[in-house]
Structure 1
């Protein structure tokens, strides 16, 4: 059975290697999440370490999907800290292990993110993904609306410049206070 677990700041250090391994695997199998091939363990470790301050401060929340004692997925939610944006949060780095894809792991992770965002009164969640990728129909199936995109936004893992697609979802409508 797969469980979704929010990683607390005090557990971050002992779970770092899980995130490093998942990131390296995901990028090696085509995930366009800000890295190009080859992604080394050292580079992945530096990136994971760069998350520490935002995880400890709770500006960024982190979840793992666990199955049979191993990590098979992860997602992050970055909370906007600007006074005029406390209603929004950005979904980042949805990763599913190459051996666990198409099993509903991504959907479970996104449901956890949306539930937590709503609980924190973050009624608007948004993300970007590679335009034309298999992620687009996935996010659309979750009720996300495409807002647009930017050509040649980022390199895919293979180094090819690609457009992004920006998506958002209103979890509930909120009036400014």
Structure 2
């Protein structure tokens, strides 16, 4: 069995890993994941996105967590903590991405457990996320996330065509 290491990346390491992070994003979008990007997704656009994430990590606005296997970064998730003044107790979970080659190995679950622990450690006790993926929805529900509702025609799939998005929340102990 391949060993998986799940850990947060600091700002310098996030900046140094933008190429691998871009590879994960490109793989997911090419596989049909509705994660804000359309096909064809240019590598430079993916790199620019991850540079922005690394800058946000450096400003203390988010936590970036990765899962690494023998081939490098296999998955990632973000905890966005840059909230309005009246919401210091909550955070958004964003961009749970797992490379197609690594799906079904428990990486998504481990990333979600790590992001929840990071939120708890940062004093955040209400988390919110959304997904267009039925597979991710099943994972979230197994992990105790509460479905708020579904908004039809919320976003476009990478190749075009509207898709619904399901919103979730979780209160941490």
| TM-score class normalised by the smaller sequence | over 0.9
Please list the CA deviations of residues 86-129 of structure 1 after superposition, one character each: whole Å capped at 9, or x if unmatched: 11010000000110001100000000000010111100111000
- For 1:115 and 1:97, how far apart are their aligned partners in 2? 22
Deviation at 1:149, TM superposition (A): 2.5
- For 1:50 and 1:161, how far apart are their aligned partners in 2? 27
Q: Return the match for 2:94 from 92, 95, 114.
A: 92
* Unmatched segments (≥5 aa) in structure 1: 173-177
- For 1:116 and 1:39, how far apart are their aligned partners in 2? 30
- For 2:162 and 2:36, how far apart are their aligned partners in 1? 12
Per the alignment, residue 17 of structure 1 pairs with 19
Per the alignment, residue 66 of structure 2 pairs with 64
**2:20 matches 1:41:** no
* Unmatched segments (≥5 aa) in structure 2: none
TM-score between the two structures when normalised by the length of structure 2: 0.94
**2:149 matches 1:148:** yes
Deviation at 1:49, TM superposition (A): 2.1
Decide which moves more: 113-122 or 41-50.
Answer: 41-50
Q: Return the match for 1:54 from 53, 56, 63.
A: 56
Decide which moves more: 161-170 or 147-156.
Answer: 147-156
